[in-house]
Amino acid sequence: MHHTSKIRVALRHVVVILAALIFVFPFYFMIIGAFQQNPTNTPDRLFPMSGWTLNNFIAINSRISLLGSLFNSLVFVVGVLLGTVTFGLLTGYAVSCLKFRGKGFVWILMMLVQMIPFQLLMIPLYVQIARNYGLGDTYIGIILPFAINTTAVFIFAQFFKALPPSIFEAARIDGAGELRILWSIAIPMVRPALVTAVLVTFIGPWNEFLWPFLITKNTSMQPLAVSLANFISSVSQSMANPNGAILAGATVLAFPVVVIFCVFQKYFTASDIGSATKG
């Protein structure tokens, strides 16, 4: 039995390693191809010993401003994150820890909003923001539709519901207001939810290109995903090494996401909320 158990553990590890290699391979090929003079998908190019170059990045930067596009993406994502975290925390705390009339209706409405694809709302949002509010070709117009994220509200609400109600009751008895309770007690205890919401929210706007392309035709304001989409569709095929330039652009787009995940993945740990109460 002991020998059989070891075999099962070994097979489990082999399966996990193979799955990880299959998952990582496209990223490996993307990075290798971004630094190659002539990237192909043939087996002899999987482990190249020569042909390394930075010209792919130089070539794509000559057609689009990588630094400028990265700055636009940073403004877009930071604005969305600030709105998501602020409104998500306030709304999640309200629907999970406070009692008010219509609370159930608000929760149902939030769930219904999650079921509607964003693409169905793009045209009415465009008319409302660009025509009615006059926010076309502005950072605010790009950020506003993503400032409130119902997924983040749901994540925060579920974590707040898991906290012992006695903690909040004790704070209210001591005279603490709801904002003080949220800031000093609730938020420190739901750090995994905060990190999860930030990562989930970051990935969406960082890769979003439909809405920024719709709301602004000013190339100096377009995020990196939009600039790369325009480059791939209209410019890349006229270059000497189109595949290398495309892979270089994809590497630039993916690099911040990978870095942020590696930095914050250690915070994906369950919080010890039970230790906050006595008994």
Rounded Cα distance between 121 and 106, Å, is 20
Let me know if residue 9 belongs to a domain: yes
Q: Are residues 151 and 225 in the same domain?
A: yes
Residues paired with residue 52 on neighbouring β-strands, in sequence order: 36
Query: Can you read off the two tokens belonging to residue 225?
Result: 């995903």
Rounded Cα distance between 208 and 187, Å, is 28
Q: Are residues 48 and 114 in the same domain?
A: no
Average the pLDDT over 193-210 and give the result.
Answer: 83
Q: Are residues 159 and 201 in the same domain?
A: yes
pLDDT at res. 270: 45
pLDDT tens figures, 76-99: 999 999 999 999 898 888 888 888
pLDDT at res. 267: 63
| Parent domain of 21 | 2-53
- Neighbour-count burial for 88-113, b at 16+ CB within 10 Å, e otherwise: bbebbbbbbbeeeeeeeeeeeebeee
H or E stretch covering 265: none
What does 11-37 look like in DSSP terms, one character per residue?
Answer: HHHHHHHHHHHHHHHHHHHHHHHHTBS
Is the pLDDT at 143 greater than 80? The verdict is: yes
Let me know if residue 201 belongs to a domain: yes
Q: Are residues 25 and 75 in the same domain?
A: no
Q: Are residues 32 and 14 in the same domain?
A: yes
Name the band, by pLDDT with cuts 50, 70 and 90, for residue 115: confident
Let me know if residue 58 belongs to a domain: no
Q: What is the pTM for the complete model shown?
A: 0.77
